[in-house]
Structure 1
């Protein structure tokens, strides 16, 4: 019988989460909304240091509503990272706005501030309305919000942080979730913490939070009958899923520590191998280590990231390339962009490895053994 599959980032849940969910069920709050939603919003907002949280059905829903609240819509442009998951771009299109893709900083894969300035200069000179700048925190490393914020402020454009991958990370001592006009986090099953599915808008802007909350419940007006003056969405998080999230929050620091341990294990495993480096560089003390990836220069290493992935898959170990850039996706082939080739190079040379906090010692040893055996063939 083949070995049990090892996943990139499986959900890490147990008795604590069972207690919270069972308590919510016993309370009678089974239908959407309820006290656990209110408490989850308040607890996560307090953790990252903002005034408001709006718990929603997915990170994509959170991006969609935050963009609407910032004025994205037909006739506007949103400048975003090309190296991201498709949900970032899709949420822009949902509003009717046009995505404009910017290439990556070579060291981190995150939005390049210099290219952002060039993009905003060109768009504003052409008289186009840029509704928002939408950087993405790749694999749990915060983007350069200091420089991105300065660039965006020079053009009077708000910043919305796609922090779907980076909850628990920091930037210059400040928590992700508090680094922009608004931030969006994801609680998908593979994220640093999960509510099965879900996401949240985090912000100090009370009006933005209120707008997102209003739109998320079908834009129902506060009268006794069902009254609607505009189109809304069914985007609210359920009380049961919020209870799961509250349980996860009580264990959050331990889960972060486990991912940090896994990162350091990989760093030791690949140390000294020619042509191989941990993606994101050595400065990862502020990262949440959501996923650990390596970049492979095949000409130097003698093997490629794809070959390593193929070898691990034969051992029933999941791997994945870095995100395929949006400008290379067929659905966005016609979108405007400002490119240097960096994102494409990272996609072609990078591979992500199992990194979840549910990854136990024997499983991590299995991955390490598989990597070691593969590399030895070329040494």
Structure 2
């Protein structure tokens, strides 16, 4: 039985050229020409002055928080509808998370919920140090509204664009609106280096500072000399070689992801019990994963049925404010816990860029035949 994975890596065929060059030159250890080239490509693609590639997207968030001075006892606001890696680095630094609900328009952070939380924090004399906004499934949150609200209160914004490399809002790349933007090159992302991430920002000097911290904060002396704590967060020269080749096909991957979404919508869009993740009129998503909502609540057993048929599916993110580890954390919503509704009704479909139209038709047919998702029998 053929298996349809959620988002498997898709190599361009040129990765081996850069890997072999690294081996030929013995640039196996971290740093080297591939790292320099990969950082240059990411910076140019996003229209920023500099970029730091890191060992993971999580480490890039950690560095951004460190640069913004987050420390023990601070508060960090974060989208609740996301993977735990979005907020974990704030916990590493001893900060306290406050979670902000989603809106139906983007599934990202709700500007009204953010304003409500900031006003409450101001009244309590404890504004957050940072706001972390997540761009979900390759789609933009209402980032301009969020930046505007954050600016009123003087709070810097980090864009967690781990899933949204190449996506835009009003023609501007995601990750370039806030003080810092981060990307992930995990194995399931739109492009991959097996594992890795990147940090970009408005200030070139800030990225240079992050580069220093990511290399164990070693001072520029002819011996090992340290005045502060740093981290081992650099991406290796070998993996950066994979990234160079992947960047060369990024726009092709985005076009394919968007085509996959359109094809799914052709097969499933007429079913009244299904709605797809919306795309804000001002945004252009990379459609990293095709995601949809059913009018009926999804059960774990329903996901298992498709998985047993060779179709890897996954529920949408379980909101962080509902996770046991964060049960005592504050949560703000202006409209009644939208994120939990999305979680209860939502599912991700296989979205790998090697899928054919025939593959998508097979997957769509299996979804339609799985009546546990529907309030009525569906046939097409």
What TM-score bracket applies, with the shorter chain setting the length? Answer: over 0.9
Q: Aligned residue for 2:321?
A: 327
Structure 2 distance, partners of 1:129, 1:25, is 50
Query: 1:208-247 alignment to 2 at 5 Å?
Result: 208-247=206-245
Q: Which runs of 5+ in 2 are unaligned?
A: none
Q: Aligned residue for 2:31?
A: 33
Partner deviation per Cα, 1:55-93 (whole Å, 9 max, x = no partner): 000000000010110111112111110000000111111
Q: Aligned residue for 2:306?
A: 312
Q: Aligned residue for 2:10?
A: 12
Query: 1:49-64 alignment to 2 at 5 Å?
Result: 49-64=47-62
Structure 2 distance, partners of 1:306, 1:265, is 26
Partner of 1:91: helix, strand, or coil? helix
2:254 equivalent to 1:260:
no
Name whichever of 205-214 and 237-246 sits farther off. 205-214
Structure 2 distance, partners of 1:308, 1:365, is 19
Partner of 1:378: helix, strand, or coil? coil
2:137 equivalent to 1:139:
yes
Given candidates 116, 120, 126, the residue that maps to 2:114 is: 116
Paired positions, count: 373
Q: Aligned residue for 2:342?
A: 346
**Aligned-pair CA distance for 1:29:** 0.8
Q: Aligned residue for 2:102?
A: 104
**Aligned-pair CA distance for 1:336:** 1.4
Structure 1 distance, partners of 2:122, 2:366, is 51
Q: Aligned residue for 1:194?
A: 192
Partner deviation per Cα, 1:339-371 (whole Å, 9 max, x = no partner): 321100000000000012132444333312312
Pair 1:202–1:16, CA change in 2 (3 A): same
Partner of 2:192: helix, strand, or coil? coil
Q: 1:297 touches 1:304 (CA, 8 Å); kept in 2?
A: no
Pair 1:305–1:294, CA change in 2 (3 A): farther
Query: 1:364-379 alignment to 2 at 5 Å?
Result: 364-374=360-370, 378-379=377-378
Partner deviation per Cα, 1:150-173 (whole Å, 9 max, x = no partner): 101000111110000100100001
Name whichever of 7-16 and 77-86 sits farther off. 7-16
Q: Aligned residue for 1:356?
A: 352
Partner of 2:195: helix, strand, or coil? coil
Partner deviation per Cα, 1:217-272 (whole Å, 9 max, x = no partner): 11111111111111111100000111100000111111111111110011111122
- Pairwise CA RMSD: 1.8
Q: Aligned residue for 1:163?
A: 161
Pair 1:369–1:284, CA change in 2 (3 A): farther
Q: 1:308 touches 1:371 (CA, 8 Å); kept in 2?
A: no
Instruction: Give structure 1 regions of 4+ aligned residues with deviation exceeding 4 angstroms.
Output: 281-285, 303-308
Q: Aligned residue for 1:207?
A: 205
**Aligned-pair CA distance for 1:332:** 1.1
Q: 2:18 touches 2:34 (CA, 8 Å); kept in 1?
A: no
Q: 1:58 touches 1:199 (CA, 8 Å); kept in 2?
A: yes
Name whichever of 16-25 and 276-285 sits farther off. 276-285
